[in-house]
Chain A
């Protein structure tokens, strides 16, 4: 039986949306604010909804040991990812550099940031949180597999 997770095509749509979104950031900044916010919201909702759909399809193919591993990975990974995100957003030279780049991307000449800059910054912060939680989940999953896979 071919599982959902076996098909890379299932992961293509959200990746395409994210790549297109970031590639068109400057174009989005030039649009009317309402249009920008609507497109950003639509892209975010699509990515989250697609992720839930794929996760639900994958869960149907899992047995109870795999489900227990998934619960372990999600709870521990989400907590660890949130913690790492807070650490990464502490005021450091790297965060200053990212902030400068963000202002340059959303304003044409790097002048004072406006509402759109703050909004895109928040979206990027949420994206960072989700990426860190995903990475945390992968690490926690590896910990679970190591714990459960060894011999007694």
Chain B
């Protein structure tokens, strides 16, 4: 699953650690989600979207199937 976390963080000047603190997970976990290494659960995806004050579909994008 693709996401815009890196761009959204950059817009707000947040570090991974700062976002991690806002959504109550570790910095490594944010790194894994941001790099698409781990697909978050729906509750965590909502928490990340809430941190950016955006809708979930504005943060996470579905990947087109070939």
- Given contacts A63-B26, A65-B28, A66-B26, are A151 and B44 in contact (CB under 8 A)? no
A residues in contact with B32, CB < 8 Å: 65, 148-149
B residues in contact with A149, CB < 8 Å: 28, 31-32, 37
- Tell me, yes or no, whether B61 is within 8 Å of chain A by CB: no
Chain A residue nearest to B2 (CB atoms) is A152
B residues in contact with A152, CB < 8 Å: 35-37
Query: CA of A63 to CA of B41 in the docked complex: distance in angstroms?
Result: 11
Query: CA of A149 to CA of B28 in the docked complex: distance in angstroms?
Result: 7
B residues in contact with A2, CB < 8 Å: none
Cβ-neighbour of B25 out of A63, A145, A147, A148 (below 8 A): A63
A150 touches B35 (CB 8 A): yes
Shortest distance in angstroms between B23's beta carbon and chain A's nearest beta carbon? 9
Q: How many residues of A contact B (CB 8 A)?
A: 12
- Tell me, yes or no, whether A64 is within 8 Å of chain B by CB: yes
Shortest distance in angstroms between A7's beta carbon and chain B's nearest beta carbon? 18
Chain B residue nearest to A147 (CB atoms) is B37
Q: How many residues of B contact A (CB 8 A)?
A: 15
- Given contacts A150-B35, A151-B35, A152-B35, are A64 and B28 in contact (CB under 8 A)? no
- Tell me, yes or no, whether A54 is within 8 Å of chain B by CB: no
Cβ-neighbour of A65 out of B24, B26, B36 (below 8 A): B26
B35 touches A65 (CB 8 A): no
- Given contacts A64-B44, A65-B32, are A150 and B37 in contact (CB under 8 A)? yes
Shortest distance in angstroms between A102's beta carbon and chain B's nearest beta carbon? 43
Given contacts A65-B29, A66-B26, A149-B32, 20 further A-B contacts (CB under 8 A): A63-B25, A63-B29, A63-B44, A64-B29, A64-B44, A65-B25, A65-B38, A65-B40, A66-B28, A66-B29, A68-B38, A148-B37, A148-B38, A149-B28, A149-B31, A149-B37, A150-B35, A151-B35, A152-B35, A152-B37
